């Protein structure tokens, strides 16, 4: 049986891939209606399709939406007990990065043999990755860490996952003696704006089960996400010359401020953790005449989600009474639902991942994500897709960082997982 381990050359190639990918600006744009939301995402997608072809995936292609698809054919010999029984396994990551923090001009900083302590980022003296705020730094002493220079995000969310999947494909090409079933690879666009699977054709992808590699800590396997909606509060006021505004002016800016001021503090993301839901005003724009306020609504159950939305509507009704003549509308749009509802219907997709972690001498950590992945939507449209850690930390910020050792382990656990599927299918 082939030993599953990434050697020093594999490790260096993984690092080089990651550094190459994060230098490509792939920020998505939540205000865009095009797909992908930014054309620049295709720059990395094209590069990945070319690299996949060079690794032997002859069918690798980027489609019109910027998605990349490729196949690593199974190689089980005739007569193998699992031949014809192993389902195609999908490996998925997203190429886009968060739209709210600068993502262009990333200058990755590699710290070899991290010695512990705070990390000052050279591009901005105000930016220090502090051990007090990053408890996982203590677990990574001696590791190779990668950060940005402090002026941009790093992009480990989710280019760490992309680099790990590419390294798995490269390892399989170098180890034809390692027997595995068919593997399908997909790199999606626009995950950060909630549109990562908008054009994903599950039937054409052809996988029986899939896994995203995205974020999170060593040994974490995630089978739950938030249920998520977005809410837009649209306020229409009435503008007149302020010198003659008495009893005429209705200031939409003040109305918006009154709504935000009344949000219960205990409902905000900055005061919640673990399984607590939140209501998050994250974007406001407009003027006296019209203001739009965007909210994220998040909860692990649909009942809690509805309760938070009703809180928002109740606040709006109260504020309407304080500003006669103002017109306020609340538009709620579904984003995704907790994938646990679906994964629980066929738990082996999760159990096999736990087994793969144990084979590495680690104890799997089952976590609920205070966020979402492409796997949430995919699980509801017919492709069960829990999440494997990719290692990124403090994502969406200029203090984002990742451990190369945790990335290596993500690649290795993926290979173990392919082996588990073969063995269980043969049983």
Q: CA quadruple 78, 79, 84, 90: dihedral positive or negative?
A: negative
**Beta carbons of 248 and 238 less than 8 angstroms apart:** yes
Helix (H, G, I), strand (E, B) or coil at 365: strand
**Beta carbons of 154 and 108 less than 8 angstroms apart:** yes
Q: CA quadruple 399, 404, 408, 409: dihedral positive or negative?
A: negative
Active site residue 51: no
Pull the structure tokens for residue 363.
Answer: 């104890």
Q: Quick one: which of 334, 246, 263, 251 has its CA closest to 287? A: 251
Annotated catalytic residue within 157, 191, 222, 229: 191
Instruction: Calculate the alpha carbon distances from 139 to 216, 359, 360, 417 in Å.
Output: 14, 20, 17, 24
DSSP state of 91: E
Q: For helices 156-174 and 8-22, what crossing angle results, to 10°?
A: 140
Active site residue 346: no
**Beta carbons of 357 and 221 less than 8 angstroms apart:** yes
Q: How many CB atoms lie within 10 A of CB 329?
A: 11
Annotated catalytic residue within 10, 51, 96, 412: 96
Pairing mode, strands 290-299 and 227-236: antiparallel
CB crowding 134-173: b at 16 or more within 10 Å, else e: beebeebeebbbbbbbbebbbbbbbbbbbbbbbbbbbbbe
**β-sheet with 327-336: strand ranges across:** 278-286, 290-299, 227-236, 327-336
Helix (H, G, I), strand (E, B) or coil at 49: helix
Instruction: Calculate the alpha carbon distances from 91 to 72, 215, 375, 427 in Å.
Output: 11, 14, 11, 23
Residues involved in catalysis: 96, 191
């Amino acid at each position: 049986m082939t030993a599953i381990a990434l050697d020093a050359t594999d490790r260096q190639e993984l690092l080089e891939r990651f550094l190459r990918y994060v230098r490509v600006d792939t920020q998505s744009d939540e205000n865009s209606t095009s797909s992908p939301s930014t054309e620049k995402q295709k720059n990395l997608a094209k590069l990945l399709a070319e690299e996949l072809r060079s690794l032997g995936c002859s069918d690798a292609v980027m489609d019109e939406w910027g998605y990349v698809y490729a196949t690593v054919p199974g190689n089980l010999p005739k007569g193998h007990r699992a031949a014809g029984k192993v389902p195609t396994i999908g490996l998925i990551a997203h190429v886009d990065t968060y739209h709210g923090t600068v993502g262009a001009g990333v200058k990755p900083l590699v710290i070899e043999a991290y010695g512990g302590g705070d990390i000052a980022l050279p591009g901005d003296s105000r930016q220090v990755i502090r051990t007090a705020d990053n408890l996982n730094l203590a677990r990574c002493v001696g590791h190779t860490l990668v950060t940005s220079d402090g002026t941009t995000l790093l992009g480990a969310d989710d280019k760490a996952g992309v680099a790990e999947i590419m390294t798995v494909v490269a390892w399989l090409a170098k180890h034809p003696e390692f027997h595995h079933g068919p593997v399908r690879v997909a790199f999606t666009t626009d995950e950060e704006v909630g549109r990562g699977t908008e054009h994903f054709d599950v039937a054409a992808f052809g996988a029986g089960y899939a896994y995203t590699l995205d974020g999170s800590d060593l040994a974490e396997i995630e089978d739950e996400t938030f249920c998520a909606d977005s809410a837009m509060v649209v306020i229409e006021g009435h503008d007149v010359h302020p010198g003659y505004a008495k009893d005429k002016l209705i200031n939409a800016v003040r109305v918006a401020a009154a709504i935000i001021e009344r949000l219960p503090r205990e409902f905000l993301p900055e005061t919640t953790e673990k399984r607590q839901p939140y209501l998050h005003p994250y974007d406001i724009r407009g003027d006296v005449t019209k203001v739009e306020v965007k909210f994220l609504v998040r909860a692990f159950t649909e009942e809690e989600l509805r309760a938070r939305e009703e809180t928002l509507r109740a606040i709006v009704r109260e504020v309407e009474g304080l500003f006669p003549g103002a017109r306020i509308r609340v538009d709620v749009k579904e984003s995704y639902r907790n994938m646990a509802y679906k994964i629980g219907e066929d738990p082996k997709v999760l159990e096999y991942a736990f087994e793969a972690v144990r084979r590495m001498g680690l104890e799997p950590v089952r976590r609920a994500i205070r966020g979402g992945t492409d796997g949430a939507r995919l699980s509801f449209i017919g492709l069960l897709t829990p999440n494997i850690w990719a290692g990124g930390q403090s994502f969406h910020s200029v203090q984002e960082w990742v451990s190369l050792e945790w990335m290596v382990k993500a690649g290795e656990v993926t290979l173990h997982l392919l082996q588990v599927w073969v063995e269980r299918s043969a049983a």
